[in-house]
């Protein structure tokens, strides 16, 4: 339901952009590569989409992962340092970076699932220390490197499509099949809705929460590799800064509750695309760049208020009963 | 029970004294009273923002907009002083009024619309920073004869230390915070709402107004923190104080508050801020360590503290078998 609204809103943004700039929808082929604003938007939103999708899983279980930005910084720094100072093969470097992401995810999983700390503070630990660790890895420098394979991941293209977009597409496809075509998605939402009941019903709650954090760690690391590849370097202090907040906003815009139990994968993708399209639209329309943050904040809060339950209930009173039952499902009032 | 309530505070105090002791043992300069008075001056804005955040976290919410509010208040003050020639006191009053009204709006969104505090305050954070960008993109000096006079007020202590006006104001606000939390009806309501919102509602407590006041209070205290930060740095910059909200949350958690609400003390937050400050001072005294180690050390102590807290909670609920798991 809510995803439909998001897609409609995105189409609205695209139409407004097309009115402002008739070339917006045009996709040209230059030197065998696709070029155009839409491709640009996809290219820029790839790292955030990777992070948002796995954030949707974490939020689905009723937890949160604040450390993804820090994991991006660590994985990006590892990629840059290995590529710059070692003779390892690029595939091995990629494996090492993803492995570091796995270790970070394991750390979060240990704190949340095994020690039972609240996920907000548990992942805050890695969020605070992660950038410090990345600074220690790069020794506080911006490390630059030159590697054809890794460079290709960030800026290359295959069949005319940017490799980043291909990687993102494969990731989205994998997620949708893996989460929605198996029982995993159901288990994740069950844990978010009621952990104890799911445990008693025989769901491996511990295993699934561990899996979700591992997955979040690895996809953040992949995002970190892409971001490092993009600029052929790693800036430990600024890489992926605040990406976790963007990801959480995208997931919440898609109608997920931070208390868990609900998630929408496609919605999370649409959330990121809406924010990125809005940014492009503001740039095209010639707005001074400093306005963009205010406008983004206003659009996001409007979307969130429009979806809130109390607004939904007030709206439902205005609509004819048959429509309101369909559009504004009521929740029991007792949940104050 | 009252003794147990203070257990996390004693633990934080112990960690602080341990760190101070380690510093005093290794570096002769550390024993100077100047280190302590600088610790208070350098972290004054953190402590003030922490008092507001403590109330929010006690009520079961969170405020991610603190750092952005600090920057916005600075930019507002800078513009009013430099471009419009307002007297600093007028500028401060307007800025604080603004921060309180903004906090009230956040509170209404949380309490009346039932939106999640994390999300609302996150959007507020983007909004405040965005407004700060709109007003001024550059770092501008904030200076005025009156402000210079204020920062010249200094009560020297034995040694080379002293109490500046910033520290005095922080101390007053700390006392105010403690009184507000423990001696007023509002404070009791905050604990009740954070402990169990539904029970508080059924008891007939004004749940929605309390939540609105809590965010207005946090807005006001972040505003005061912004004024202190601006006086301290002497400049207004829209990118200032990025990520300060996380430092503040870390300090509140180190002070023994629980993010689920209902448990925590204002004094604990004060000590938590001092622990953060002294870790930075220690790393600065060492001089050879990469600044990344500050963050790693802070996170390490945060973890240590959470584990201690976890243990003590187990201990507290042991008497209630149906809650123990």
Shortest distance, CA B160 to any CA of chain A (angstroms): 33
> Which DSSP helix (H) or strand (E) runs through A81?
helix A68-85
> What tens-digit pLDDT sequence spans chain A (336 residues)?
567 778 888 888 888 888 877 777 777 777 767 777 788 888 888 889 999 998 988 988 888 888 999 999 999 999 999 888 888 888 898 999 999 999 999 999 988 888 878 888 889 889 888 888 998 888 878 888 887 777 777 777 777 778 888 888 899 888 888 888 888 888 888 887 887 888 888 888 888 889 999 999 999 999 999 999 888 888 888 887 888 888 888 888 777 677 777 778 888 888 888 888 888 888 777 777 777 788 888 887 887 777 766 666 666 566 555 554 444 444 444 443
Q: How many CB pairs under 8 A join A and B?
A: 131
Count CB atoms within 10 A of the CB of residue B83.
11
Indicate the residue of B109, B123, B303 with minimum beta-carbon distance to A125.
B303
Instruction: Verify whether the Cβ–Cβ distance B246 to A124 is below 8 Å.
Output: yes
> Which DSSP helix (H) or strand (E) runs through A162?
strand A161-162
Instruction: Verify whether the Cβ–Cβ distance A140 to B290 is below 8 Å.
Output: yes
Give backbone dihedrals phi and psi of A35, rounded to 5 degrees, phi first: -130, 150
Asked whether residue A303 is domain-assigned, the answer is no
- Residue B321 and residue B176: Cα distance in Å, rounded? 39
- From the list A244, A279, A330, A269, the residue with the least C-alpha distance to A3 is A269
Question: What DSSP designation does A22 have?
Answer: G
CA dihedral A236, A237, A238, A239 (to 10 degrees): 20
Indicate the residue of B126, B246, B295 with minimum beta-carbon distance to A297.
B126
Instruction: Verify whether the Cβ–Cβ distance B123 to A304 is below 8 Å.
Output: yes
Burial of residue A181 (CB within 10 Å: 0-12, 13-18, 19+) is exposed
Shortest distance, CA A60 to any CA of chain B (angstroms): 15
**Which residue reads 């202590």 in tokens?**
B157
- Residue A49 and residue B300: Cα distance in Å, rounded? 31
**Which residue reads 């439902």 in tokens?**
A316
Residues 6+ away with beta carbon under 8 Å from B132: B68, B71, B72, B75, B238
Asked whether residue A82 is domain-assigned, the answer is yes
B123 contacts on A by Cβ (under 8 Å): 249, 297, 300-301, 304
Beta strand B235-236 with B162-164: parallel, antiparallel or unpaired?
unpaired
CA distances from A243 to A48, A52, A230 (A): 7, 9, 16
- Give me the residues paired with residue B166 across strands: none
- From the list A125, A101, A98, A72, the residue with the least C-alpha distance to A240 is A72
Asked whether residue A81 is domain-assigned, the answer is yes
Domain with A178, as residue range(s), is 37-286
Q: Which regions in chain B score pLDDT beneath 70?
A: 1-4, 159, 312-325
A290 contacts on B by Cβ (under 8 Å): 130, 133-134, 137
Contact predicate B197/B207, CB 8 Å = yes
Shortest distance, CA A292 to any CA of chain B (angstroms): 7
Please state the domain count of chain A: 1
User: Tokens standing for A261?
Assistant: 């139990």
């Amino acid at each position: 339901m809510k995803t439909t609204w998001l897609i409609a809103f995105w189409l609205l943004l695209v139409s407004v952009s097309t009115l402002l700039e008739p070339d917006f929808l045009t996709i040209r082929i230059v030197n065998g590569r696709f070029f155009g604003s839409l491709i640009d938007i996809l290219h820029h939103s790839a790292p955030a989409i990777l992070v948002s999708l796995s954030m949707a899983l974490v939020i689905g279980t009723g937890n949160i992962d604040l450390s993804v930005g820090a994991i991006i910084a660590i994985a990006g720094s590892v990629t840059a340092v290995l590529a710059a100072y070692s003779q390892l093969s690029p595939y091995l470097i990629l494996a090492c970076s993803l492995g570091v992401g796995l270790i970070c995810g394991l750390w979060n999983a240990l704190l949340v699932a095994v020690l039972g700390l609240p996920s907000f503070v548990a992942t805050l630990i890695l969020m605070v220390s992660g950038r410090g660790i990345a600074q220690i890895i790069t020794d506080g420098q911006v490390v630059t490197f030159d590697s054809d394979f890794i460079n290709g991941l960030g800026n290359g293209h295959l069949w005319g499509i940017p490799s980043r977009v291909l990687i993102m597409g494969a990731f989205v496809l994998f997620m949708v099949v893996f989460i929605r075509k198996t029982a995993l998605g159901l288990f994740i939402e069950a844990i978010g809705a009621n952990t104890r009941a799911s445990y008693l019903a025989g769901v491996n709650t511990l295993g699934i929460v561990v899996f979700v954090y591992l997955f979040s760690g690895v996809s953040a690391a992949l995002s970190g590799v892409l971001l490092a590849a993009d600029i052929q370097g790693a800036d430990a202090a600024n890489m992926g800064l605040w990406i976790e907040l963007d990801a959480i906003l995208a997931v919440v815009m898609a109608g997920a509750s931070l208390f868990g139990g609900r998630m929408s994968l496609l919605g999370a993708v649409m959330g990121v695309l809406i924010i990125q399209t809005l940014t492009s639209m503001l740039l095209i329309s010639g707005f001074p760049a400093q306005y963009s943050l205010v406008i983004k904040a206003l659009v996001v809060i409007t979307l969130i208020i429009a979806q809130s339950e109390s607004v939904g209930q007030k709206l439902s009173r205005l609509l004819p009963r048959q429509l309101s039952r369909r559009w504004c499902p009521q929740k029991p009032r007792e949940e104050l | 029970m009252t003794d147990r309530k203070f257990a996390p505070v004693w633990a934080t105090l112990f960690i602080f004294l341990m760190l101070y002791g380690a510093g005093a043992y290794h570096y002769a300069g550390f024993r100077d009273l100047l280190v302590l008075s600088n610790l208070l001056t350098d972290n004054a804005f953190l402590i003030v923002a922490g008092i507001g955040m403590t109330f929010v976290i006690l009520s079961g919410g969170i405020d991610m907009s603190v750092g952005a509010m600090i920057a916005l208040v600075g930019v507002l003050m800078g513009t009013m002083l430099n471009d419009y020639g307002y007297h600093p006191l007028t500028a401060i009053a307007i800025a604080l009024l603004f921060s309180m009204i903004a906090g009230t709006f956040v509170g209404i969104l949380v309490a009346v619309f039932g939106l999640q505090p994390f999300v609302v305050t996150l959007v507020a954070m983007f909004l405040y920073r965005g407004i700060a960008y709109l007003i001024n993109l550059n770092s501008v000096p904030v200076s005025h004869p009156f402000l210079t006079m204020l920062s010249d007020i200094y009560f020297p202590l034995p040694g080379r230390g002293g109490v500046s006006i910033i520290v005095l104001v922080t101390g007053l606000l700390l006392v105010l915070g403690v009184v507000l939390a423990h001696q007023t009806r509002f404070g009791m309501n905050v604990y009740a709402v954070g402990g169990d919102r539904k029970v508080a509602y059924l008891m007939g407590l004004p749940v929605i107004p309390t939540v609105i006041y809590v965010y207005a209070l946090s807005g006001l205290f972040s505003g005061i923190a912004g004024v202190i930060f601006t006086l301290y740095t002497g400049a207004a910059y829209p990118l200032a104080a990025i990520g300060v909200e996380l430092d503040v949350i870390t300090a509140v958690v180190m002070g023994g508050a629980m993010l689920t609400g209902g448990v925590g003390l204002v004094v604990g937050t004060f000590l938590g801020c001092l622990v953060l400050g002294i870790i930075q001072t220690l790393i600065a005294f060492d001089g050879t360590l990469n600044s990344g180690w500050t963050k790693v050390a802070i996170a390490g102590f945060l973890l240590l503290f959470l584990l201690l807290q976890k243990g003590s909670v187990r201990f507290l609920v042991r008497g209630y078998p149906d809650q123990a798991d």
